[in-house]
Amino acid sequence: MKASDLAIIGGGPGGVTAAIKAAKTGVNVTLLDENERLGGQCFRQYQKGFNVTDPGALGPDYTEGQDLLQQFYSCSDKIQYLNNTLVWGIFNDRSLALARNGTSSSLRFKHLVVATGAYDRPVPFPGWTLPGVFTTGGAQKLVKTERVLPGENSLLAGTGPLQLVLADQILKAGGKIAAILEAGNFANHWLQGLKGIWGNWNFLKEGMQYWRNIKKAGVPLLPNHMIIEARGDGRVQEVVIAKVDKNWRPERNNAQSVSVDSICLGYGLVSSAELTMLAECEHEYDLRRGGYIPLRKANMETSVPGIYAVGDGAGVAGRKVAIAEGCIAGISAAGALGTISRATAVDQMRPYQKKLNTINRFRKVLDDISLPRKGLYELATDDTIVCRCEEITLKQLKAALSDRNLRIKDLKRMTRMGMGACEGRMCGPFVIELLRHRLNVTVEDVGNLKPRPSTKPVALGVLAADKPAQNAGQ
């Protein structure tokens, strides 16, 4: 079994900064990421073969990402980077299970940073399984890495700034957007907004830049609006949209239909916390910040000594927070491993901890606007499929719900929801809220789906082919 003083899972901004900070002090670092290329979600790179001739046109996050990746490559002699490597398990002997190039292997670690990011919150409603329905992240991946548009005429619906980012990217790639629907409304939060923005002017500048481009293209931006149904013969052809109240409950009498060939849905993000759960770190439930997230100390260490969690996987908060947290975890691990003194580590962490306080003030405003309201969990009808892997409808879940003392794990046993290939990543977050609202119980009463290895699908042939991991990152 191979070993590393510091293993880092995730090559997004959080994992990359943790690697840079620790490697610069002399720590032996191994960075593992399931993707072909580094960058994670927001610093996602183009496929090989594409050339960027005008970086400025690709927005501030592109150039910021390139700068960070350059820093990473400049210390890559001290980092073992394994791309195309899925970490599918964590075991009590402080080892990770890896799947790479069709084989499986293990890596033992002394310290571990989990920086696994987040994914789009799935929201079942009539028609959401039709071809032509994308998540914001899925559509963004198409546009960003493949240079393919989600459709010829798209409608964006959801909440939060990622919608504006995607709209800007689609427009710049030559696409057409029928409208952007925002379920919340900034106008209702302007006073907190003013307080939050203080000291965070760069966010305002970036947001205004996206907003100006969208306005210039004549795309309507409708606050307090949601999609209530997608219709079409074999693929999306039209959507029904409606104004919503403060609980995001639609005014169905005034609904209208809009002809589009694709929709992109972004109702916030869910933290990918399966690996910290598997490592038996303590978690709390915070819907604003992505559902179940690990409890952490100021140095980003979880309740399990030597296991740190940073970035969206430890509470959705954006790339600036992921970067600051990655720096803190990298420095803290260096202090614990003795490549710098603990006192130096404490000093070096302080400015990043201060920065986090400032950013989090602004983040709270965004979270207040975008906190999923009850109406979001009432869009599905009896025939709507909730668990896509096992094709379980809302009606089947409701039939099982006749017993009021059900926890989510009971529902799983009774209906098979959450037992498919995604292991409940898709239906789990929705069903937790469904149970809370329908049964009027606390999240503690609902419980959670316990992740098990493998946390993402791994072929049996890969498990059977047990070879040591190779170093071939890029």
Binding site for ligand FAD (CB under 6 A): 9-15, 32-35, 40-42, 61, 86-87, 115-120, 137, 140, 162, 165, 269, 272, 275, 311-313, 318-319, 322
- From residue 213, give the alpha-carbon distance in Å to each of 24, 151, 216: 40, 20, 5
Return phi, psi of residue 352, to 5°.
-70, -35
Identity of the residue, 61 or 286, whose beta carbon is nearer to ligand FAD in the bound complex? 61
CB of 26 to ligand FAD, least distance (A): 23
365 contacts: CB under 8 Å, gap ≥ 6: 189, 192, 193, 195, 196, 197
Identity of the residue, 68 or 240, whose beta carbon is nearer to ligand FAD in the bound complex? 68
Identity of the residue, 229 or 312, whose beta carbon is nearer to ligand FAD in the bound complex? 312
Q: Assign 157 to helix, strand or coil.
A: strand
Listed in sequence order, the DSSP H helices in 75-161 are 136-141
Identity of the residue, 370 or 396, whose beta carbon is nearer to ligand FAD in the bound complex? 370
Q: Assign 202 to helix, strand or coil.
A: helix
Whose structure tokens read 């400015």? Answer: 351
Identity of the residue, 300 or 322, whose beta carbon is nearer to ligand FAD in the bound complex? 322
CA distance 40 to 115: 10
CB of 332 to ligand FAD, least distance (A): 17
| Alpha carbon 117 to chain centroid, angstroms | 5
CA distance 272 to 118: 5
- From residue 141, give the alpha-carbon distance in Å to each of 33, 207, 318, 367: 16, 20, 17, 24
The encoded tokens of residue 180 equal: 């952007």
CB of 360 to ligand FAD, least distance (A): 14
Question: Are residues 427 and 418 in contact, defined by beta-carbon separation less than 8 angstroms?
Answer: yes
CB of 272 to ligand FAD, least distance (A): 5
Beta strand 95-100 with 103-114 is antiparallel
Is the CA virtual torsion 272, 50, 64, 150 positive or negative? negative
Long-range pairs of 457-461 with CB within 8 A, sequence gap ≥ 24: 457/421, 458/86, 458/88, 458/99, 458/104, 461/102
CB of 89 to ligand FAD, least distance (A): 9
CB of 175 to ligand FAD, least distance (A): 15
Identity of the residue, 323 or 394, whose beta carbon is nearer to ligand FAD in the bound complex? 323
CA distance 433 to 425: 14
Identity of the residue, 31 or 244, whose beta carbon is nearer to ligand FAD in the bound complex? 31
- SS3 annotation, 315-330: CCCCHHHHHHHHHHHH
Identity of the residue, 322 or 427, whose beta carbon is nearer to ligand FAD in the bound complex? 322
Identity of the residue, 27 or 118, whose beta carbon is nearer to ligand FAD in the bound complex? 118
CB of 237 to ligand FAD, least distance (A): 26
CB of 275 to ligand FAD, least distance (A): 6
Identity of the residue, 42 or 214, whose beta carbon is nearer to ligand FAD in the bound complex? 42
CB of 230 to ligand FAD, least distance (A): 20
CB of 469 to ligand FAD, least distance (A): 12
